[in-house]
Structure 1
Amino acid sequence: MIIVTGAAGFIGSCLIQKLNELKFRYIIAVDDFSNAEKNLNLANKAIMERVDRKDLFSWLEKNNREVEFFFHIGARTDTTEFDTAIFDELNLDYSKKVWEACVNYQIPLVYASSAATYGLGENGYEDKEELISSLKPLNPYGDSKNDFDIWALNQPKKPFFFAGLKFFNVYGPNEYHKGRMASVIWHAYQQITKNGTLKLFKSHRSDFKDGEQMRDFIYVKDLIDVCIFLMEHRKNSGIYNLGTGKARSFNDLGVATFQALGLTPTIEYIDTPADIRDKYQYFTEATMQKLRSIGYDKPFTSLEDGVEDYVQNYLVKQLYY
């Protein structure tokens, strides 16, 4: 059995699809299954059992001997939520219980951290574990992810294999339900198909032109390939960046989306809202040497190719992966 938390969500459902393609059928899907729209992500997927997230640990007491691997993908990911109690419950405390279960039952673990832990990037974007305690996230979501990374590294008892993955800007199919927290590509597609134009934030810094703010955008299929590699590798425990290692501008993203639709780019620039302006990231880029050093050598999908696949094969056709 393979456990996937956040199973009905964006990344979790894509991971289950890939596991199915690799002939894994004994999937234990863990989530809050009350969102009917999100549950569409699991349609036509081979799942052995659905377990409500609040019932997971009692389920593990009875079934832990059958579990081969644990992917802890589920989390509250809203960067605009400022109720720290929500993140303490769902991201920090729940993840601690997952960790302790994997220690007690000797289950290898891959869990989702986040590039939000890097804040404004004052300390760079290197995934050196000795730097993690000095990072300064910009919101309670980032704090919760960084707090767990710090806690995990300080535990005297660890799973015999674990990997925490700092996801950078992930995009791809099955994010329909995420609303404002969906990727910029998803929002760009909605704007372009509705109005024929794309609105991007102006730059409020003299060293960046409008739309030239940069992010490390990673296609969800690449992210899943790394997860599968780590499941098979099961060596070199630690915390790893997961981006492409190449930052691209929002202008690049916009042009790629127009091109995927066969349209001439029309981009307008609007002021960055004042309430987020002082916390707005102008540049993120994962350093990927650490993951490469343990043997992951598959190339990452270019922004243009990833956007084209996502737009043409999923968004236009309104299909799930």
Structure 2
Amino acid sequence: MLIVTGGAGFLGSAVIWKLNEAGRQDILVVDNLGRSSKWRNLVNRRYADYIHKSDFLRRIEGGKDPFGITGVVHMGACSSTTEPDADYLYENNTRFTTELCRCCLERGVRFVNASSAATYGDGSRGFGDAHSGLEALRPMNMYGYSKHLFDLTALRNGWLDEIASLKFFNVYGPNEYHKNDMMSVACKAFSQIGERGRVRLFRSHREGVEDGGQLRDFVYVKDCANVVCWLLENSEASGVFNVGTGKARSFNDLVGAVFKALGREPDIEYVDMPETIRDTYQYFTEAPMGKLRAAGYDREFTSLEEGVKDYVQGYLAGKDSFL
């Protein structure tokens, strides 16, 4: 049995899609569906069972493994970078992950975890995924810190020799509709074009950077699922790994690709960035990908233009919005 936590979420449901593509259905989905609409991400998927996250952790902490686990993909977390409840983030993102990882290691079960590029903070200390640089990082929000705390725990306990913890950069793609303000700019741009024919982007407040010229490493969710499933099968590849394309692109590029996929000319309105975020806003992120490549991952990443085209035409404007 494979376990996918956060299996109804954005990344988790994409991983299940990829596992289904490979013929795997022996999947236990762990999540907290509550009153959200993310259950719709499971409608097209094939899996053995579903269990609430609190019941799942209680049962595996109880000693005997009742599931026959052969691998765990831990994508479940609160991913809101603006969540104000630090205790909740610690319990949900740090403690849960730590306990689940410990249970997996005690059983010799492969553990692949979702960390985040938010652990890099303002980027002034670089974006390198070498273990020697982990303790120098200073996340700027509690979400990033909650992810960073687990990576530090894994480093200090020697767990990084056995697990994979993935620092995802700016992920976009199908099945993110339920993330509200945390949806990608690609998804928001599609909605804005449909509503008023134009897209709003932040003006630049830094000399030498044009409006909408702020740079991010945008990575397609299908590529992320490919990396996760490869690491699940290649347990000799362990440690912290960046997951991005390795090429920073501007928000203008991203929005331009959305317009192009819709067959429309770009119409962008630039608005002032809120003063509350101006001092900490990142103008550049880019994932060095040499470590994952050196571990043996050789699949090419989807270009921004091709990824946005597939997302917009195949899902956002397509007949089936879900993977």
1:108 positional shift: 0.7
Letter of the 1:94 counterpart = F
After superposition, the C-alpha distances for 1:102-141 in whole angstroms (9 at most, x for unaligned) are 1211111000000001111111111011111111111000
Q: Give distance in 2, aligned partners of 1:114 and 1:173.
A: 19
Letter of the 2:153 counterpart = W
Q: Give distance in 1, aligned partners of 2:228 and 2:66.
A: 21
1:47 positional shift: 1.3
Alpha-carbon contact 1:165-1:240 (below 8 Å) kept: yes
1:151 positional shift: 0.8
Letter of the 2:59 counterpart = W
**Residue in 1 aligned with 2:7?**
7
Match of 1:89, SS state, is helix
Q: Give distance in 1, aligned partners of 2:143 and 2:36.
A: 25
- Aligned pairs for 1:164-243 (under 5 A) are 164-243=165-244
For the structure 1 residues 222 and 137, does the alpha-carbon distance in structure 2 shift closer, same or farther, using more than 3 Å as the test? Answer: same
Q: Give distance in 1, aligned partners of 2:223 and 2:260.
A: 22
After superposition, the C-alpha distances for 1:183-237 in whole angstroms (9 at most, x for unaligned) are 1100010101111101100000002111100000000000111111111111031
**Residue in 2 aligned with 1:30?**
30
After superposition, the C-alpha distances for 1:15-52 in whole angstroms (9 at most, x for unaligned) are 11111111111101000021341100000321111110
Letter of the 1:12 counterpart = G
Alpha-carbon contact 2:154-2:160 (below 8 Å) kept: no
Larger deviation: 80-89 or 258-267? 80-89
Alpha-carbon contact 2:7-2:29 (below 8 Å) kept: yes
Match of 1:66, SS state, is coil
1:59 positional shift: 3.1
Aligned-residue CA RMSD (Å): 1.3
After TM superposition, the runs of 4+ consecutive aligned structure 1 residues lying more than 2 A away are 57-65, 158-161
**Residue in 2 aligned with 1:270?**
271
Q: Are 2:296 and 1:295 equivalent residues in the alignment? A: yes
**Residue in 1 aligned with 2:79?**
77
1:70 positional shift: 0.4
Q: Give distance in 1, aligned partners of 2:34 and 2:160.
A: 31
Letter of the 2:236 counterpart = K
Match of 1:29, SS state, is strand
Letter of the 2:107 counterpart = Y
**Residue in 2 aligned with 1:161?**
162
1:65 positional shift: 6.5
Matched residue count: 320
Letter of the 1:74 counterpart = G
Match of 2:258, SS state, is helix
1:147 positional shift: 1.0
Letter of the 1:6 counterpart = G
Match of 2:115, SS state, is strand
Alpha-carbon contact 1:87-1:140 (below 8 Å) kept: yes
Q: 2:131 aligns with which of 112, 121, 129?
A: 129
What TM-score does the superposition give when structure 1 sets the normalisation length?
0.97
Match of 1:211, SS state, is coil
Letter of the 2:235 counterpart = R
What TM-score does the superposition give when structure 2 sets the normalisation length?
0.96
For the structure 1 residues 205 and 159, does the alpha-carbon distance in structure 2 shift closer, same or farther, using more than 3 Å as the test? Answer: closer
For the structure 1 residues 57 and 262, does the alpha-carbon distance in structure 2 shift closer, same or farther, using more than 3 Å as the test? Answer: same
Give ranges in structure 2 of 5+ residues lacking alignment.
none
Identity of matched residues, %: 47
